Structures are given as structure tokens and as C-alpha cells.
A and B are shown apart, each in its own frame.
Chain A
Amino acid sequence: MKAFADLYAALDETTKTNEKIAAMASYFRAATPEDVAWAVHFLIGRRPKRLVPTRDLVEWAIQEAGISDWLFGECYQAVGDLAETIALLLPAARASSEKPLRYWVEERLLPMRDWDDSARRESLVAAWREMNERQRFAWNKLITGEFRVGVSQNLVVRALAEVSGVDANVLAHRLMGDWQPTADFAAQILAQETADADVSRPYPFCLAYPLEGEVEELGDVRDWQVEWKWDGIRSQLIRRAWRPFVWSRGEELVTDRFPELAAGSALLPEGTVLDGEVLPWKDGAPLPFTQMQRRIGRKELGAKILAAVPVVLVAFDLLEHSGEDVRERPLEWRRVELERIVAAAGPESHLVLSPVVTGASWEELKLTREQARSRGVEGFMLKRRGSPYRVGRRRGDWWKWKINPYSVDAVLIYAQPGSGRRASLFTDYTFGVWDGGELVPFAKAYSGLTDEEIRQVDAFVRNNTLEKFGPVRRVKPELVFELAFEAIQRSTRHRSGIAVRFPRIARWRTDKKAEEADTIETIRALLPREP
């Protein structure tokens, strides 16, 4: 645990990419293959099912620390992270564990699944006693599964590449899919040969950056393939060994959620991998995102919901063709083959080809882009002709060129403390808009302010609290903020009757008074017409 806890601390202490990679590389070099496999598993954000209920964990920590429940609650409020709160409260450490990560995970963490409460408790308390504070923190993180340490999969891959000399793209591919963290797997990841067997394994997704400057800076419009940017679930549809697999970008195998796609994939040639967006779709057009949420939440997909909210894969790229990895082929080649495959599969396949939008100039495309909202898309995707399909988020070949978000001026009415790095600051806000003479809650937003502005709002909240409900403060309605959001829908779950997608703070309108904020009528006017 020592080496792993030190790695965690080293990653936590720096914000610099190169230092993070160096810390991981030095861990991978020194660790056993089993420990490498487990470390990779946790670092890229995988985790075992929760093995100890939080309630129990807290109760045992409270008893071991010898404090009362409410005082634990106060401490948690101040720290904002359960694993850390517990590590800070346990009695001073008298030991340090040299046992490897594998031991702690395989012999102490995973077996908890089969133990009863008293055995779990005994083992857990004993574990704390064997560790120093830093190790306890890392261990608690393994248990609670909130293993955020500012490391992307991409960084883990770069560290592994540095240690093994294997190409980063190959490594990224090996880390996808459904693998078990074992010594064998570690050997496979780092092996020089590239014959990879797992039939379900998806490719790393190529991700786009938002376009920041003017679109003209991209150069000649003819160098770019333009498509609509669909707002669905980014997924790969795989057909290998005559079996279907659907992977979401969150690296979840979601084949069961989309039986239409699983069935439709039978119409694809063997050895095909498509990249696209899964969308609720009817009569040749996407349904609003709220419809998809109706379907996603369900465990059982009955005939009724399948009929009400059918899905398609809007396919826009081809990654594997006849069992061959074609990601290095130019975009145009992949596009031609993709069109051929989708056409051959036919409408029964639940595949839709993402159309290419044509425009003679950027000016013309800007006009076309105005249709985005009525088409239910988020704007354009711009893909450089001739480019390969890249791994991860890279600048240069793929850009998302979104339409400007909606914006509304709203009043801060409730605030509560954030968690993690924002613990003990009021950073989570609820905003209201005018409905008659009353402010009705309209959206919550957490991001968009600078640290300095957060401090100022925090001070405002502390000095202008009207009422407290637990951690939530009702504040004097005085501060006005411009909120931006991507889409707007009717909702029966919200008091305002409206739900918005991705709300965030665009800026603080210090020039506006609360009375000048928007009204609910103005916002209702933004709603799409009733279908």
C-alpha cells in the first residue's frame, strides 16, 4: 500500500501533466504485474462494486475515532470528501503497510463481498490500524470508489507507453473493453505483440475540441467534411464473431439497453465497427433528449417503451472493416465504405447514415447552422479531410462548432457548499426567475465563475442568509447571473415546468438588479412548440 499511496499523493500534489506521467511511470516500473494491473484499473476510473455500505463505513470510522455522529457530520461538511474525512479523524497512525496493492485489493477488499458485517468491520478496522494516514486515505478511496485524482486514461496510457515502449494507440485499445486486472492482463498490456483477442473490445473514441476562434481560421472550407452534431449517446457498434456489442463512450457495454441495435447488427458484415450516436428516433428525425432519459432509466425494456422511444445509431465513422483496423485510412475512404455498409444493411438495421452537409463557403454554412435547433442537433462537427481516426481528444482534426447557447438572466436564491475542492465554500447555486411577483426556482448551476468570483459570492451568501435548511441557505435575492444552456424542455418534475440541459453561469451581471431578471414567460417562449 505504501507505494500506491505515495503514487496517489504524488498525483494529487501536482497539476502538471509531465509530473503525473513521471510519477505513474516510476510506479509501473517498480510494481509487480498484479499491482500494475490493479493500479491501471483504478487510475482509469474502474472500480469494484461498492463492497461496504457507506453507512457502515461511517459508523465504524466514528467508533474508531471516538467521536459523535453529529461531529462527524460537521467534519464531513468541512472536508467534503468521505475517504479523506475518515483518514483525518482516525486515531494517529502507528504503522505503515509495505504489503502490495494486490494483497489489499484481492485479499482484503474484494472478499468483503462474502463476509458478514462483523467480519467486514473487524477486517476494515484492522486495515486502518496497519496503515499510516496517507495509506488510509488511498485505501478509503478504493473502498468508496471516488478515486478522482486528475488522471485521464490518456495520461495512464502515456505512462505505460513510456515504461513498455509499446505504441500509445495500441495501449489505449488494449485498455478498452471488459478486462480483468490480473498479472496475465498486465503482461498482455505491456506485450510487444499486438494480436489482441478480445472480440468485444472497442476502439478508443476520437474526441473533438470545441472551436474557439473564428471558423475561417480553419482555412479552406473544402478541406473539411461537415456533419450535424447529434446530441445522443456516443457509441460504437461492433459485430465480431457474429455477435453484437454496443459500447458507450463511458466504456460501458450497453448492448442490452439497445436490443434494436443488437438485432440490426446482424445485417452488418462480419468484422465491422461503427462509430456514431445512439438517438431516440422517429419518422426520420430525433426525438427530444428527455425521451431518451425515459428509456435509459429502466431496467426492463417492455414492448411499450420500445415502441414509444425506438433508437437508431446515427453512424458517422467506420473503424474496422472486414476485421481490419482501418483507423489510419483517410476520412474520405472510411466515409465511402461507411456509406456502402449502411446502405447495404438497409432500414431494418436501425442504422442511419449521418449526412454530410454541403456548403460552398463558411458563410453559407453559418446560415445552414441556424437550422440546428429546429433539427434537434447541437451544431456542426468539422472533420479534416484526409485525417485518420485518432485516439482520444486531440486538437486539429475534429472540431465541434456548436450553436450559441440559450441565455437567461436569473437571480441567485439558494446556495449550498460544494464538495471536493469546493468544500466549505458556497459554490452550488439555485437560480430563480420571476413568476408574477415571486421568484421560482428555474435551474441549478455549479460552474462558470472564476475562483475570485466564487469567493465574492461565498461572502455574499454568508452575509445575506435569510433561512437555513440543513446545508442549504436561502439568500437575499439580489445577485443576477446570466445562465447559458443547450436545450429546453417542458417538465412535470420541475416547479417552473421547465427543464434545461447543461445549465452553467455565463457571467455575473453586476450591472443588473434582481427586478431586471427574466420572467418565466420569456423563458416559456423559448420552448419548442407542442408536438
Chain B
Amino acid sequence: MENLLERNPNGLYCAAGDFYVDPWNAVDWAVVTHVHADHLCQGSKAYLCTGTSEALLRSRLGVEATIESADYGQVIERNGVRVSFHPAGHILGSAQVRIEYRGEVCVVSGDYKLAADPTCAAFEPIRCHTFVTESTFGLPIFHWPEPREVLEEINAWWRANQQAGKASVLFGYPLGKSQRVLAGIDSSIGPIYTHGAVERFNRIYREAGVALPATEYARSAPPKTDWTQALILAPPMPKTAPWLRRFGDFSTGLASGWMRIRGTRRRQSIDRGFVLSDHADWPALVRAIRSSEAKSVWVTHGYRGPVARWLNEQGMDAHAIETRYEEANSDAAEAEP
């Protein structure tokens, strides 16, 4: 039978339901897996997202945008096609999109991870005929340490910087990564400050009921604030950025899956790399794909070629699908959403 989903110049398209999932051009109806910039195109006539994503999506698209939302598991019918969201474990409100039509089921997983994360609902394996998977970290060199251990490393680094009289500036993606770090670190060590980009998402997370320790917007700190005891969360920026000058002597860290590779770690010229990713590592990708029991696997953004080839070698029917999500991937560490 014909595929329920196709890739056309605007994105992944479901002809039967006449809608797109994470299109890269403006379309009539866009279903949104999650609110990272590389999966979101402005200007579509209408958007469908999860209830927990709505506030985030609104903050990106503005008051004019037409946004509908649905809770996880709730079925929306469109031209006889049943669409529902299921947790992807990537960031707050992130979802896999399940599409069902005449008994055929397709799941677009967006970005996902299997590891536990207190800031979002855990990934839910769904059986389907076609599974669309990301492959950001789709090589066997990527296997993550326990997040608990990594967070302990961050705590230890923060304490050591305090002792050395240095501020601790931790870079990470401002939506998702920063909140995951906040929820997991030991906030009794010292005060926590944030960059504006991080703080605006903290607010939305807190309103959604995610428990985060107290943070303060760095810019509103009084002059002569003692930064040496502080942890500062910010999006990645060069060490020489004017925004960083206020902190005096500081050590920089970056929380990203790319920190697994020494070359990318050194290239960022940061003091410490922490291997903490909101994407599935190789073992998790393999597990998620297997648990879908899909007959056909579409591999998108990341190491799609190698992952598809490997899956084919394992006797699966896999295809590498070119998408626009990976353009942002060329600059690894900054772009990892």
C-alpha cells in the first residue's frame, strides 16, 4: 500500500490527512513534535501541539498564531486520519506523533531520549508499521554515562570553582538542557543565576508545574554581586562575549552530548565538557527502534546514512531520509537542541 507519510519539498507530509509534521516551510496545518527552533517554521496557518507545549509555542510564534493543542493520548481526527501525541522524553511537552489511517500506523518520534528526566514525561514506546527516528547521535561511539553521575560532576566542578574563587558559567541549550540541569544539580551549593534566554523558559517550566530551584536573572543582580560562589546558566557563547565580563574570573562548562568527543570538546575552548544529552544515544536509538516493532524505519537528521545501513544489515527495512532539521547540526555543540 501507499505510504501514509511522504517527504515533499515542505517536509514530512500526510496526504490522507493533509497535514505536515515539523514542516520546514509554512504550510496550512503543522503538527509540532516539540518547540526547538530547528523543528519549527513560522508562518503556517495553524499549528497543533501538546497541551504542555502550548505556552512554549506561543512564546515562539506570538499572539497572532493559530494554535490548537491536545493532551498526550488524546485523538484528533482529520479527514479520517487519527492523530495523537505521546511523550518523547526530549524536553517539556515534546511528543511523538502517532498517525493512524485505515489500520496503518506511523509514528514520527521527533527528537527523543530514553533516559529519565524530571522535567518532562518519559518516552513511551509505541508499536507501529513505520517509525520515523532521529539519528543525531547515531554512531556506537555515543553512549551516555548515567545522568546522575554527570550532574555530580557538575556539582563537584561548581564546588571546586568556589574554592578557587571563580564563577561557574555553564553553557547549554536554553530550552530543555538548562532546566534539566537545574532540576538535577545540588542547589544548596550556592546561588544560581541565568541568562535571559534561559530565564524566560524557566518561567514557562515553572508555570507548567516543573519544580526548579530558585534562579535569578543575572542582569538584574546588583553591582558588586559576589559571583565566585555562583552557578550561571547561559546559552553557548564565546568566552570573550561582553555578557560574560561582569563575572570577573570564571570557569566555563558545556553540557552536551557532543562533549563525548575530545575534538569537539577542545574546539569549543571551554574548560569542562559534561556529557549530558537530551537525545538518545546509540543503545537507546536501537532499543527505541526495536521496541516500535516497525516494518519500516525512516531515519532522519543526524547520522542517518550509517544508522539506516546498520538497520538494513540487521534485517530491517530502513531508509535514510534527508530533512532540513540537520542543517543546524553542522555546528554540533551549539545546535544540539
Contact = CB atoms under 8 A, between A and B. Distances in A.
Given A13-B271, A65-B140, A79-B141, A74 B303 contact: yes
B309 A70 contact: yes
Interface size class, chain A: 20 to 34
Contacts of B222: none
Interface stretch (A84-92, A230-238, A472-480): A84-92
B280 to A, nearest CB: 16
B79 interface: no
A458 B143 CA distance: 26
Nearest to B137: A78
A427 to B, nearest CB: 10
Contacts of B262: 12, 79, 81, 84, 421
Interface string A416-435: 00011111110000000000
Contacts of B141: 75, 78-79, 85, 88-89
Interface string A67-83: 11011001100111100
Contact of A71 (B140, B266, B272): B140
Contacts of A89: 140-141
Given A89-B141, A424-B332, A462-B330, A79 B263 contact: yes
B261, B269, B327, B331 pick with most chain A CB within 10 angstroms: B261
Contacts of B269: 15, 451
A71 B306 contact: yes
B310 interface: yes
A422 B330 contact: no
Interface string B283-325: 0000000000000000000010110011001000000000000
A421 B266 contact: yes
A14 interface: yes
A50 interface: no
A458 B267 CA distance: 14
A78 B261 contact: yes
Q: How large is the interface on B (under 10, 10 to 19, 20 to 34, 35 or more residues)?
A: 20 to 34
Given A88-B260, A423-B261, A75 B139 contact: yes
Interface in B166-186: none
Given A15-B269, A78-B141, A79-B141, A420 B330 contact: no
A84 B261 contact: yes
Contact of B261 (A68, A79, A451): A79
A420 B263 contact: yes
Contacts of B139: 71, 74-75, 78
Interface string A347-374: 0000000000000000000000000000
A459 B267 contact: no
B139, B141, B272, B327 interface centre (most CB from chain A within 10 Å): B141
Q: Which of B143, B305, B306 counts the most chain A CB atoms within 10 A?
A: B306
Nearest to A66: B140
B228 to A, nearest CB: 18
B264 interface: yes
Contact of A425 (B140, B267, B310): B267
Contacts of B263: 79-81, 419-424
A373 to B, nearest CB: 37
Interface in B191-250: none
Contact of A13 (B143, B272, B306, B327): B272
A12 B261 CA distance: 12
Contacts of A68: 310, 313
B80 to A, nearest CB: 39
Given A74-B139, A85-B141, A458 B261 contact: no
A13 B160 CA distance: 15
A85 B139 CA distance: 11
Contacts of B140: 65, 67, 71, 75, 89
A79 B262 CA distance: 8
A424 B336 CA distance: 15
Contacts of A458: 330-331
A71 B18 CA distance: 38
A254 B313 CA distance: 53
A455 interface: yes
Nearest to B303: A74
Contacts of A422: 263, 267
Nearest to A88: B141
Interface string B112-155: 00000000000000000000000000011101000000000000
Interface in A443-494: 451, 455, 458-459, 462-463
B330 A71 contact: no
Contacts of A14: 271
Interface in A1-48: 12-15
Q: Which of B263, B303, B306, B313 has the most CB of A within 10 A?
A: B263
A459 to B, nearest CB: 5
A135 B331 CA distance: 30
Given A74-B139, A74-B303, A421 B267 contact: yes
Q: Select the residue from B264, B269, B327 with max chain A CB neighbours within 10 A.
A: B264
Contacts of B261: 78-79, 84, 88, 423-424
A88 B264 CA distance: 14
Given A13-B271, A74-B303, A74-B306, 8 more contacts: A13-B272, A71-B310, A75-B139, A88-B260, A92-B143, A425-B267, A451-B267, A462-B327
Report, nearest first, the 3 A-B pairs whose CB atoms are least far apart.
A88-B141, A421-B266, A423-B263
9 contacts: A65-B140, A68-B313, A71-B140, A71-B310, A85-B141, A421-B267, A423-B264, A455-B330, A458-B330
